[in-house]
Structure formats: structure tokens, C-alpha cells
Structure 1
Amino acid sequence: MRLTIVGQLKGQLTAATRIAMDRGAAVTHAETVDQAMRTLRAGRGADLIMVDVALDVRELIAGLEAERFHVPVVACGVDNDARAAVAAIQSGAKEYIPLPPDPELIAAVLAAVADDQRDLVFRDPAMIAVVQLATQIAGSAASVLITGESGSGKEMLARHVHQKSLRANKPFVSVNCAAIPEQLLESELFGHEKGAFTGASARRIGKFEEASGGTLLLDEISEMDVRLQAKLLRALQERVIDRVGGSKPVPVDIRVIATSNRVLADEVRRGTFREDLLYRLNVVTLKIPPLRDRPSDILELATHFAKKYAVANGMPVRPLSAEARAQIARGRFPGNVRELENTIHRAVLLASGPEIGAEAILSPDGGPMAPARTADAASRAAETAEMITRSFVGRTVADVERELILDTLGHTQGNRTHAANILGISIRTLRNKLNQYDEEGYAITPPQGGVAAA
């Protein structure tokens, strides 16, 4: 985790720095917004910026956007400065941390950023095979090509390769080749010298140099212009780059991972992608199956996202009802994991009651989610049952038992006697199990009226 703290290091901010370093963050300090921008231009990348609200937060965020530095910003300041806190959030800060610093709050913010970068969740055998291969080749220096449909999790798999590699403690830098205009992508990748073109008012270190020692992800590389592909090929072959407007080559030490939602061999035949670059990139190819071809991952991911967005929105963690799970298992999800994530995030916000019901599983326009196929009801039910059964594979009996007990208690609205009867166990056994789950930190559905129903 690379953290840049912007502001005067006096007292409370110094304490925040010390806490972050104790939690494993590599901390860089800049006293002013200008100094922070110079640090980023010099290639000292950041995964998170913490800025004192005494500085101009709006200016910092505007500068980051103008120069295409995609870094989340959190503001910090004395806890009674409510006006400054509101202004910082309105300016684009993701969070506000009151000072004096709370070690647990800072740890939570750092963990949230780290978790956003490491959410690789899978259970289906098809995905297990891909992850096993990724882990196997991670320790090598070979370039990797990751293919798959949009939203299938290519960047997450790339981060997994980096984290399992010998470069795990070095930077992981990502560039979305499809999101940056063609005329700016060369500068973004290779950097530029002052005066190299109109608007180049200072030297800017590119992503190749920023990632030196670590891993560079070229996301959706098929969108890169053929002319720029030639310069990229040279960088991969010779491990040197030329800044725009520069007079001498700059050595770099990186591992390149590229992703594409297209078949690059087809692009080679069309003349839009260089064949020699394809051979250089795909020393190892990892192909991620679409979500529809790994059904056991659907419910596993849904459960993960339900917990993640409940915590993120300050809401209680609630299980998915049996009806909701069946509806999700039937879903088509042409947008793959990204679409499923948005569906569950929406459901967490819309659901009422002790669990997330099927009525909260909606499409973006508020209508019911389209089923995967138009088969008759019987075959759909059989398919759903098979998906749910497959989702249990690889889980412990204790995990399945706990989920069954908590789901049943939710259906009975906290009535323990009814839940015990449905489960076929004694009320004493149920109470012992619930006490155990409560001690382990799991949410227990309270009985209606707040009194345990025996």
C-alpha cells in the first residue's frame, strides 16, 4: 500500500503517519498540493492520498483529474471542523478522517483500499483451474495475456498474479488503454519532457517508469494504436523506453500483463494488432470463462458482494433468501461479475427485513431480472437446484449448517421454536448453535417484538 500524506507534519498528522506505517503502508510526504503533484509526476505513485483539509482539497482533486492520476483521496482534520469536512467531501474526497487519529479507523481505510484491489472470489472448477495456472506461473518473469469478456475479472486475476510473484512488494500499475485518448496514451505510458508538446509544462514520468521493479497492467491492449504498438514492442524487447521529447533511452525493469476482451489473433488478421507484439505478450495466456460458464461462482460472488456492500453502506449484513438465491442463479448476467456486483449492491440498498429477498433482485431499470433461458419452469427449477447444490461443493459441513440455520431463523422472523421444528433439531441444540454463532460475530435474526420466542 503506497500512501501519500499531504500537509504539514505536525502532531496529529505525524501520529496518523506513524499509524499508517505501523499498518504496513509505505508513506510519502508532501507539504503542499503543488509538491504532491510534483511527487506524482516524478513517478512516485500512490494507492491512496490523505490530505489535510487546511489545504485546498478541490485544487488537489482537480489537478489529479486534469493529469489523469486515478488515486482515491481521503481528507483529515480536527474533529470539530464540520464545515471543512463537508467541503472536502463535496470536492471529491472519498472519506473524512477526524484528528486526533483513531488507529482502527485509519486501518479500516487502508484495508478498504487494499480489499478493493484483491477481491478475487471463486469456487467453480472452471475458475479454480485458471487461478491455479495463474499461481503456478506467477513466480516467473514471463509476460502474461489475460483474455475474457468485459466484466469477467481480468484485472483481479492480474493483481493475483502480481501478488503471488517475486515483485509483490513493488508497484502494481494499471493503464486502461481504452479510456485514454490515443494522442495522450503515449505520454501516459512513456512520460514526457518539459516542452515536448503544447501543455507539457513539466517533466512527467510515465507508467513504465512508475512500475519499474513491479508489474505494469495494460488493460484492453487491443484498443492501442498500431503505431504505438511498435514503441511498446521495443520497450518489451529491450527493456528501455523513450520519453516523448526525450534525448536518451531510460532503462526499466517491469513485468507486463496485458488484457483483452477481443481475440487478438483475429485482430492480427484484420491488421489492427501487430503479430510480433502478440507473440511477445502471450508467453502464457490465461482465459477467464464468462460467468454463465462458471455457475458455482454466481452464488459465491453474490454472498461476498452482499457482505461487502452492507459494510460499505453501514448496514447490517443480511443473508440472501432462498428465493433470492434461486433468482440470482437463474440470471443471465451478460455483463459478468461487474453486472452481478451492481445487482447485489442495488439489492443491499433496496432490501427490507432480516434478509435480502427476491423482490430486491432487480435490473437497473427497476424491472425483474431476465432469466438465463426461456426453458419451461420445471427445467429451470432443476437447473437452479443443480446450481445451488454445486455452490456447496468445497465448503465445510459446519459452514453449510450455519447458513441453513441462520436462513431458517430468518424465515421464521426470529421464532426459535418454529425454526427448530423446521430444522428437526431440539430448541436446546438451536440455542447452543446460535450462541456459538453470536460469539463468532455472525448476525442473528432477532425475534419480532425483541423477545426470544420459545
Structure 2
Amino acid sequence: MRLLIIGRLDGELTTASRIAMSRGASVVQADDLDQGLAVLRAKGADLIMVDVALSVSDLVGALEAERIRTPVVACGAGADTRGAVDAIRAGAKEYIPLPPDADMIAAILEAVAADQAAFVWRDPAMEKVVKLAEQVARSDASVLITGESGTGKEVLARHLHQRSARRSKPFVSVNCAAIPDALLESELFGHEKGAFTGAVARRIGKFEEANGGTLLLDEISEMDVRLQAKLLRALQERVIDRVGGAKPVPVDIRVLATSNRNMADAVRAGTFREDLFYRLNVVHLRLPALRERPGDIIELAQHFARKYGQANGLPERGLSHDAKRVVLKNPWRGNVRELENAVHRAVLLATGAEIGPDALMTPEGDALGAEPDAATRAARTAEAVTRALVGRTVAEVEQDLILDTLDHCLGNRTHAAKILGISIRTLRNKLNEYTASGVAVPEPGQARPVAMAG
């Protein structure tokens, strides 16, 4: 925990500094606001403690102007009620009366550490998403968070929970893609003893575990359609049925869901229920890919460098100028997750006073940003295509291929059949099957519809 104290260190403020250091905080001091802002720009901080003798409103305004998200707590004489009120109104999160109480300072340090450790952003593109998230955080509305793999969807979900009225209650996450369909129902709703082979005792599911708090359904687009019907009932009725249970169990939860797929496409393909989609999609937060928010790259890289330096007992080292250029140039197809892994490796490999570009490597040991040869590119492309198909049925892949080809041909059946290498009769039979199951099929001369019926 890095604590920045803004104000002259004399008397009781010195005592507050000593208490913080005894609780494990690294303390830096600045005499005035200008010095404090200079420290933040150069080194950053996890928490700011400012004397109310200085202008808290000017400090908060300067932080907002520079998009510095460090929380502020104010401190001053215990009898200064007016100063305390003004500081909170100006944007301070807490007010610490002086002389300082050791337990209060410890509680604030712990709360900030838990709340701020993983959520870092600076880019204006991310700012819009976070503002909307914080605007709806205190409601109980369901929120759908979408974005590419590795963009930080679960991190944003946790941020929503921490800003909600349910923050003192459990936050429970379940990865719908990682649990086999046969087990996911029991994982979500629980089961009674003897409900199936191996059910040796009653077990509550994630819905009951999250009661009073927040349930995150991670990668919900991978959930089997048959289970989606039971989930819809749980969301509508606020009751769940344990597997093998005799009576419904009431639950009080807020549901968040994430997906790395286009949910509208999943609805059109018939792999996701439209009514469940609208039930979850009360608020939609789309996380931009890391390449779409370049202002976050250096901020995140520095955060991960500090995190893994501390975790491995290594001295704190920043990124050199050349390393920053490499990091900014890399496309980060794996988004924040890829960046985190790359910086973690660099922290372990770096030998100088700073993390240089030579420490930034791929998992295979290549220099980060180095252009692979044609054979390597082809192999990686094939691997990526294969990975994208894993977990999908042959019928699902075939349907997407046929409809995408037909879309490319603007609905021309004859042309699409030639490209696909099948007879026009086979193509028409397939399209009739899709239409009968409710899937939108483009008419001749038309592109595939993109809007869903409301």
C-alpha cells in the first residue's frame, strides 16, 4: 500500500504517518498540493491523505482533470466539524479526526487495498464504461458485460459489486464455460442428497451461496439452452429448485453476466434464449479491447510491475523508455491478461534498475513485438481457428458457415451452394430446417438481418 500524505508532517500528522507505516504502508510526504500532484504523476499512490488546512476541492478537481483515480481521505482536528463536512462534500471518501485512531487508519488502508488492487484504468474510452457502471451500481438491475477474452470483464463485475449496496454481502462467480453441462445445474442451484449418483449429501448452489449479494455468471453464452430455461425462471421468480428438491427456495441476489461472444448473434443462431437475453441485458457494458484504449496500457503495465515485484520480493522497478515503446506498439491480442503475463515475466527476467525491452518476451522466448515468420503465423492462425471451434457442435459450426456464406452472397442460393461445395437441394433443405427452428435466413437479394424482434 502506497500512501501519499499531503501536508506538513508535524505533530499529529506525523503520528498518523507512523501508524500507517506500522501497518505496512509505504509513506511519501508532500508539503503542498503542487508537490503532491508531482509525486502522483511520477510514482503514483494507492491512497492520499490530505490535511484539511489545504484545499481538498482543488486537489479533487486536479485529480479529475488528470484522470487520476487515487481515493482521497481528509484529516484534521477532531473539533473541526466544518472542515470535515467541507472535505466530504469536496469528494474525500473519509475524514480522519486528529489525533489519529490506529484502528481507523488500519481499517481505511485495508478497505482501499481490497477495493483498488485490481481495477486500473486511465483511457477516456474506458472512462465512459466505468462511469456508466458506477451510475447503475447501486441498483439491482441485471448487467451484461461483453468484450474480448482478457479485457477484464470479471474485474469490472467485482467493481460493480464493490460500488453496490450489496458490497458487504458475498460476491460469487461461476464460469459457465468451464463446468460440464451435466454438472452446471447442480453447481448453480444445488442438489439434495441422493438426487443423482454421487450426491451423498445436500449441497447449496451458487445462487444460495450468493444470497443477499451478487452472482456473476461468467461466459453465460456457453450455457446449454435447456438450462437457460431454468435460469430464466430463477431470475423472474427469485426462487430456485435444487436438483432433486421438493420445494422452491427463495433467493435475493443481483445477477451480472459476461460473454466474449456477440449475444445478438447467439440469439439469432438459436443457441441463446431471446427472453433470457433481454432479462440479463437491462444494462449493457461493452469493455473495449486493450488496443482500443491505449491510455490504459502503460498505467496497467506499471501496476503489474509493482504487483509482481512485491509478490516476488523484488525491488520496485519501473519500465524504461524503450520498454514503454515496445509495450505501446504491441497489439495485445490477449488484452489485459496477455499484458499482465508479459509484465510478470519481465519482472522476473529484468536485471537492471529498470525493466528494459530485453526482458519483455513472449512465452516462447521471442522478443515481444518481433514479427514471426510465415510458417509460425500460419501455425498460430490454425491453432486460433481450432481453439475457437472447441466446445461447439458440428451442427452449430455448419449452420454458421452456411448462413455466413449466404450472407456474403446476398441470399443467392445457387452462388452460395457452389462456394460451399453442396447441391442447391441440400442447401435449401438446410435453410428450411433453420427457418423452422426460428433462425433468420436472408431472402434472395438481401443481406442477413441484423436486428432482432423486440
TM-score, length basis structure 1: 0.57
Q: Distance in 2 between matches of 1:327 and 1:320?
A: 10
1:253 aligns with 2:252: yes
Q: Please report how far the alpha carbon of residue 372 of structure 1 lies from its aligned counterpart in structure 2 after TM superposition.
A: 9.5
Name the structure 1 match of 2:334. Answer: 335
Q: 1:372 to 1:355 in 2, by over 3 A?
A: same
Q: Distance in 1 between matches of 2:112 and 2:209?
A: 19
SS in 2 for 1:339: helix
Gaps of at least 5 residues in structure 1 are: 1-22, 24-103, 374-454
Determine if contact 1:331/1:372 at 8 Å carries over to the other structure.
Answer: no
Gaps of at least 5 residues in structure 2 are: 1-22, 24-102, 373-454
Determine if contact 1:332/1:371 at 8 Å carries over to the other structure.
Answer: no
Q: Distance in 1 between matches of 2:229 and 2:369?
A: 44
Name the structure 1 match of 2:236. Answer: 237
Q: 1:136 to 1:287 in 2, by over 3 A?
A: same
Name the structure 1 match of 2:320. Answer: 321
Q: Please report how far the alpha carbon of residue 370 of structure 1 lies from its aligned counterpart in structure 2 after TM superposition.
A: 2.3
Name the structure 1 match of 2:177. Answer: 178
Determine if contact 2:326/2:369 at 8 Å carries over to the other structure.
Answer: no
Letter of the structure 1 residue corresponding to residue 353 of structure 2: P
SS in 1 for 2:340: helix
Q: Deviations over 1:162-196 (max 9, x none)?
A: 11111011000000000111100000000000000
1:275 aligns with 2:274: yes
Q: 1:155 to 1:334 in 2, by over 3 A?
A: same
SS in 2 for 1:369: coil
Name the structure 2 match of 1:444. Answer: none
Name the structure 2 match of 1:369. Answer: 368
Q: Distance in 1 between matches of 2:116 and 2:174?
A: 14
TM-score, length basis structure 2: 0.57
Determine if contact 1:145/1:284 at 8 Å carries over to the other structure.
Answer: yes
Q: 1:253 to 1:118 in 2, by over 3 A?
A: farther
Q: Please report how far the alpha carbon of residue 205 of structure 1 lies from its aligned counterpart in structure 2 after TM superposition.
A: 0.4
Letter of the structure 2 residue corresponding to residue 160 of structure 1: H
Identical aligned residues as a percent: 72
Letter of the structure 1 residue corresponding to residue 185 of structure 2: E
Name the structure 1 match of 2:166. Answer: 167
Q: Distance in 2 between matches of 1:285 and 1:371?
A: 37
Name the structure 2 match of 1:344. Answer: 343
Letter of the structure 1 residue corresponding to residue 299 of structure 2: E
Q: Please report how far the alpha carbon of residue 265 of structure 1 lies from its aligned counterpart in structure 2 after TM superposition.
A: 0.6
Query: What is the correspondence of 1:436-451 to structure 2 with a 5 Å cutoff?
Result: none
Determine if contact 2:121/2:300 at 8 Å carries over to the other structure.
Answer: yes
Name the structure 2 match of 1:146. Answer: 145
Q: 1:117 to 1:259 in 2, by over 3 A?
A: farther
Q: Distance in 1 between matches of 2:313 and 2:353?
A: 15
SS in 1 for 2:198: coil
Q: Distance in 2 between matches of 1:133 and 1:223?
A: 26
Q: Deviations over 1:339-370 (max 9, x none)?
A: 00000000000000111111001111010112
Q: 1:198 to 1:117 in 2, by over 3 A?
A: farther
Determine if contact 2:115/2:162 at 8 Å carries over to the other structure.
Answer: no
Query: What is the correspondence of 1:79-228 to structure 2 with a 5 Å cutoff?
Result: 115=114, 118-228=117-227
Q: Deviations over 1:224-275 (max 9, x none)?
A: 0000000000000000000000000000000000000001110001100000
SS in 1 for 2:118: coil
SS in 2 for 1:368: coil
SS in 1 for 2:284: strand
Q: Deviations over 1:98-137 (max 9, x none)?
A: xxxxxx9xx99x9699759951100000001100100000
Name the structure 1 match of 2:59. Answer: none
Determine if contact 1:222/1:273 at 8 Å carries over to the other structure.
Answer: yes
The structure with the larger Rg is 2
Q: Please report how far the alpha carbon of residue 141 of structure 1 lies from its aligned counterpart in structure 2 after TM superposition.
A: 1.0
Name the structure 2 match of 1:360. Answer: 359
Q: Deviations over 1:263-309 (max 9, x none)?
A: 11100011000000000000000000000000010000000000000
Letter of the structure 2 residue corresponding to residue 259 of structure 1: T
Determine if contact 1:220/1:260 at 8 Å carries over to the other structure.
Answer: yes
Q: Please report how far the alpha carbon of residue 147 of structure 1 lies from its aligned counterpart in structure 2 after TM superposition.
A: 0.3
CA RMSD across the alignment: 2.5
Q: Distance in 2 between matches of 1:242 and 1:117?
A: 37
Q: 1:141 to 1:270 in 2, by over 3 A?
A: same
SS in 1 for 2:173: strand
Q: Distance in 2 between matches of 1:335 and 1:192?
A: 37
